[in-house]
Every structure is written in C-alpha cells, then in structure tokens.
Amino acid sequence: MKKLAATFLVISGFVTLSHAQDIFEGDTVKNYKLDEIIIKSPKYNRNIFEVPAAATMLPARFIENNKVENLTDISAFVPNFFMPDYGSKLTSPVYIRGVGNRINTPSVGLYVDDIPYFEKSAFNFDFFDVERIEVLRGPQGTLYGRNAMGGLINVITNSPDAMRQTKISVDYGNYNQIRTAISHNQPVGKKFAFLTSLHQTHNDGFYTNVYNNSKVDKLNSYSGRMKLQYVASEKFKASANIQYENSKQGGYPYALYTDSTNTAAAINYNDESIYNRDLLSSGLNLQYFAKGFTIRAVSSYQNISDRQEIDQDFTPKSLFFVTQDQKLNLLAQEINIQSSENKTYDWLFGVFGFKQLMDKEVSVNYGPDGIKQYKLPYSEYYYTKWYDNSNSGLALFHESTLKFGGFALTAGIRADYEKATLDYVYKKFPNKNTVDVEEAVSDQEYFEIIPKIAFKYSINEYLVPYATVAKGYNSGGFNATFEREEDRTFEPEHSWNYEAGIKAKWLQQRVYANLAVFYIDWTNQQIYQTVPSGTGSMLTNAGKSESKGIEFEIKALPAKNLEMWLATGYNEANFVEYVKDSKTDYSGNYLPYVPRFSFTTGANYLIEVDKNWLDNIRLQLTYNGFGKHYWNEDNVAFQDYYGLMNFRAGFERNNIVLSFWGRNILNSDYNSFYFNALGKSYAQIGKPGTMGVNLNVKF
C-alpha cells in the first residue's frame, strides 16, 4: 500500500504541475529553458514525448562533465541500469531492470553508430568524441531482435559537418591516468565531409598484488575512428565509419573473500594475468528520401581478436593457469522502409540478417601444485578445448502507429529465426602425449514471434501518459564450458513486460520529468552457474522469475545558470520458481546483480565572470547511490548500500577549458564484483578515489 500511495502522490504532482504550466505562461518569465530531448536511436528519431517507453538521454556536455569513459560509468545515471566492473574488457555483464547475462550473448542490445554489437567482449570500449548516449528500458525486440530483451543502448559519436574544426583534450590524474584525444572535422566542398578522431588512455593500475608488490591492472589502449558523410542531394545521403581499438590490459584484481563477514583479503597470486584485444567495427549507411517515405540500408562488419591469460586459482600456489584465444567475425545487414511522419498513420517495415563466426581455443594448464593437490600421475598436464561456433539469423519486422487527435496506438511484430552450430573438440596432453577425449558437432534452431503494443495520450503538449505491453526474448545457445552432456546447451528465455508511465515538462520547458512503473513475468531465465568442478562457468535455465519496480527522473532549471537533476529507480526481482536440484530450492530468493534501488542527484552551476582572462566558471557536484544487491542465487554474499561523490570545476575562456575533477572523492569502500571458483569466493574491490586535471582546446 505504501508503494501505491507514493506512486499516486507522484502522479498527482504531475497533474497539478501540468495545470500550473497554464497559469505560469501568463506571467513574465526569463528566457531560459532546457533543450528538447530527441531520441535518435535507429527507427525512432523523434522527441522523447513521442516514444512510449522509459528512456534516458545523456548529451555530450553531461558525458564530459561526469567523465563517462565507458558503458560501466553510465550505471550511475540511468535508473535500474547496472553494469559491474568485471576486471577486464573480456566480459561486460549489463543489467536493465534485472534482465541480463554474465556470460554468453548479452540480453541488452547495443548499437554504436548504427552498428550492432552482439558479443559481450565488445561492449566495454573506450568512449571518445561521443555526441550522446541513449538507454531505452524494457524490451526493444520488435525492432531490434532477440538480444534487446532488457532494453537498448545507443551510442552516437560526433558526425562530420560543414564547419572545419579541431578539438584536443588532455587529461591527467593520480595513478598515472593519462587520456588524450584529438579530432578534426574537414568539409570537402558542399557535399562531402570527414571526421577523424584519435584517442589514447593509460593508467598504472589501481590495485596492488602483494605477491610481487606490483600493480595488477595496468592499462594501455589506443583507438581511432574515421567517419565520412556524402550528401548527394535532398534525396540521397551516404555515411560510413570505421573504428579500431587496440587494448592491452592487466588483470584481474580479484582477492579471496569471506562470505560470512563480507570482507576481502589482499590480492595475492603468483602468475601475471592479462587481457589483450583488437576490436574493429565498420558500417555503411545509405538513405534515400522519397515523397512520403525513407528507405534505409545499413551494412556492418565487426572483428574481434583477443587473448586472455589468467591465474585461475588467484592464490600464490601454481594450481591452474588458463589461456583463451578468440576470433570473431560478424556481418549484419538491415534494410527498412519507413513512412515520413504523418498526422494519422506512421509505419515501418524491415528485414535484418546476420552471420557470426567465432573460433575459440581454451587451454587449462595444471601447475606443480595443481598436479600434487589433485594427485595426478603426471609431471606435466594440460588440456585444450576448441569451439568453432556459428550463428546466423534472419528477421522480418513491422510497426504501425495510428493517431487520433491526442491518442496514438502503436503495434509491432517481429518474426525471428536463428540457427546455431557448434563444432567441439576436446583433447588432453599428459606428459606431452595426446589423448583424444571428445569430438562433436551440434546444431540448434530457434524461431520466435515477438509482439508489442503501446498506447499514449497527449493530454496537452506538457503531459503524456503511456502504457506498453511487449514480449521479451533471448535465444538459447551452447555453453563454452561444460562437463556434462545436459549442460552443453541452454534454452531460450521469455518474458512479458508491462509498463505504464507519464512524461511531463513544466514552466515553459524549465522542468522535465518522467515516471514509469513496470512488471516483468519471466520464464526459463538464463542463469550463470559454475561447472561442477568449479573451473569454469556456464548458463542454465531457471523456472520462473519476476521483476517489478518504479523509475523517476527529473531535470530542472530553477535559475538561469543552475541545472539540477534527480534520477532514481527501485527494482525488486525474485525467483518465483527455481529448484536447482533435489537439495537446493532458490524459489523466493532475489536475483543476483540487481540493486534494490539506485539514484543519482547533482547540480551544475555556471558563474559568468566576463573578464579579459576568464569567461565562465562551471561547477558540478554529483552523488550516486546503489542499494543492496546479492552476488549469487543463494543470497549469502552481498554488497550493501554504498554511495559515490564526484565533482568537476571548469574554467572557460573562449575555446579553452581547464577543469579539475574528482571521482569517489569520499573514498567509499565497496565491492564491484564477486564470483565463486574452485569452492572459494573471490571479490574485486571498487576503485579508490581519484583526482585529476583536464584541458580542452577547440580551434
């Protein structure tokens, strides 16, 4: 009842303020307002009030002021979005409203400059020269397919334009953090322009391995991007982009963890661990604008080549050392035709296809202590598994919107087909001899119909309630690690999602706010588990789960140069039915990696100095809080509430900005990651407080 009462009070406040808008317009008001929020995610490209879904947009200035350097950083600013720091760029678990996977195919969609990212090891990349980040919460599968079950992240980088400009950014912080970026936009004639960007980041590491008194997580990363744009006429436009990142990363900062006391020991292991990755993404976007409709064709290619070397036991003993080499190629093609915005009826038809090839080789080497501990009759022993995995898919989709005055009814449907094959080879190498263990070829096929229906009503231009019902779907697949035949594959997961919300703006666009409540009915949830021996991980399916919650965001300009915001989310996600085996029943437990609540609040204030040597001073302070969340299905180990405070002070003169920044300035203690392996628990401690200085120059 308390939750319903709180929701009713918030809705009442929305209605009251919407009427206050009419009264306020009759008075004299200073001429300042918030910018319109436009969602540019592919197939939307409209004002946020026209999108019947909870959505958050982070513009370039917000990204810069808050040092949003990768996807993990946006956890602080998007309600019910959580992306824990895994310890390397290899695995990037993303959760929206509790929906997400720690391993295998993500169930949250990601597009970067119209290029789909399907593989988890591509999600954690360096941000630079970013125009905006958009997060749509709730299933987007009708338009974006099976890996958008939890929602969609859209990252849009700056595009070429008609103005020649060069931007340089240099950033230095403690722990020898160095970030540099340079971009140059060059128009060539009236129809063609290109934008080139280069980026570099380095740090000496934040964590010390007491075994050899060295930093365990040092990082060197180099990136480059080129974007081309050709506007042949009012009817035809072509754009292309290519981005490459080379990353060499130390890791992993994991320490033994005691569940009963929720404390971590010092990082202490003997073998150096690394993760190196080459990531190449490219895309071509062709658009033809006819009278009444637009035809759009997007072709993309992605290549990942990476290597992981990891001390699997994370102890001073030489038990296990694992190496993994992975090569991935992804081709995707989409063609859609979409009507121009119409007063009564909008429509979209499309076809999407992809082909993904992945070759993976995993070797587990037993050290002297491992051979002794497990009483193996060998002086040398290791085994290797090869995975040749192929995924291909084809989808047809459609969406229609009927408009009746202030009413709008949207219905969509997608037919999604996917085929997965696995060519698996397993060999052991005792004392340099070769023993063939298993060879197998398997295939799986999946077909799903994904519907959606949404309704919105514009009471006036300031207040728009909406309701959405959508099916969520994430296909099944093959586990990369398994020890029993029944664990070779996992099944698709499905959900029905119910959402209602209100979007509002008041006081001549000086206040934006939105409220959403949701309920997710979930079957066959894909759950992370360790394999029986504890030397790897896999996905299994739970029986039935549910997730429910509320989200609220508000941004305001209470004074001319003062911007304030608050975003908060509450999420209660439970297993309804989950009997793991005859002895273990997790029914009623909370889902792991789902904070019960999260919030961010902050303010940005501009002081107009107007001196010969200084134009403005910009001050910003933010506080981000994360509620209690569990690390496993048994709900034993958990992270309690913690908060992070950040600041930035910038001094502006013409096109030069000198800023001083700090992150986690109160040096809050928390754990950012946790897992079980070899019958033990391990955790990664959250990053300590950092401070630094940044210089931006434009000319």
- For the stretch 201-238, pLDDT in tens is 999 999 999 999 999 999 999 999 999 999 999 999 99
Give 110's pLDDT tier (boundaries 50, 70, 90). very high
Q: For position 4, what pLDDT does the model report?
A: 36
What is the reported pLDDT for 603?
96
9 pLDDT exceeds 60?
Answer: no
Identify the CATH number of the domain defined by range 2-698.
2.40.170.20
Q: What is the pLDDT, as a whole number, of residue 12?
A: 38
pLDDT score of 164 more than 70: yes
The residue whose two tokens read 């509450």 is 570
Q: What is the mean pLDDT of residues 532-539?
A: 72
Q: Of 12-16, 38-42, 265-269, 552-556, give the lowest mean pLDDT range.
A: 12-16
Mean pLDDT within 178-193: 95
Mean pLDDT over the full length of the chain: 89
From residue 597, alpha-carbon distances to 568, 569, 624, 640, 646 in Å are: 7, 5, 11, 11, 19
Structure tokens at 23: 């009264």
Is 80 exceeded by the pLDDT of residue 483?
A: no
With a pLDDT cut of 70, the percent of the chain lying above it is 94
> What gap in Å lies between CA 137 and CA 95, rounded to an integer?
10
Q: Where are the domains of the chain?
A: 2-698
Tokens of 427: 């060999």
**pTM as predicted:** 0.91
| Averaged pLDDT, 94-101 | 89
Predicted pLDDT at 45: 76
pLDDT band, residue 92 (cuts 50/70/90):
confident
- How far does the chain reach from its first CA to its final CA, in angstroms? 58
3-state secondary structure of 18: helix
Look-up: residue for tokens 């930035």?
648
pLDDT of residue 284: 97
Is pLDDT larger for residue 438 or for residue 146?
438
Question: What pLDDT does residue 31 have?
Answer: 61
Q: Is the pLDDT of residue 645 over 90?
A: yes
User: Could you tell me which residue, 129 or 490, shows the higher pLDDT?
Assistant: 129
pLDDT tens profile 665-683: 999 999 998 888 778 899 9
Q: How confident is the model at residue 534 (pLDDT cuts 50, 70, 90)?
A: low
Position 17 confidence tier, pLDDT thresholds 50, 70, 90:
very low
Q: What is the average per-residue pLDDT within 488-517?
A: 91
Taking residues 147-165, report their average pLDDT.
92
Mean pLDDT score, 612-623: 94
Lowest mean pLDDT among 163-177, 204-218, 564-578, 581-595: 581-595
Nearest alpha carbon to residue 490 among 101, 93, 142, 116: 101
- Look-up of token digits 């009483």: 375
For residue 675, list its beta bridge partners: 682
Nearest alpha-carbon partner for 278 in 240, 249, 241, 310: 249
- Sign of CA pseudo-dihedral 643, 109, 250, 222: negative
pLDDT at 15 over 60: no
Residues 6 or more apart whose CB falls under 8 angstroms from that of 472 comprise 99, 139, 141, 149, 150, 493, 494, 495, 496, 497, 520, 522
CA distance 381 to 430: 4
Residue 181 predicted with pLDDT over 90: yes
pLDDT, mean of residues 478-495: 81
What pLDDT is stored for residue 609 in this prediction? 93
pLDDT at 30 over 70: no
User: 126 falls in which pLDDT band (50, 70, 90)?
Assistant: very high
Nearest to 175 by CA among 223, 221, 217: 217
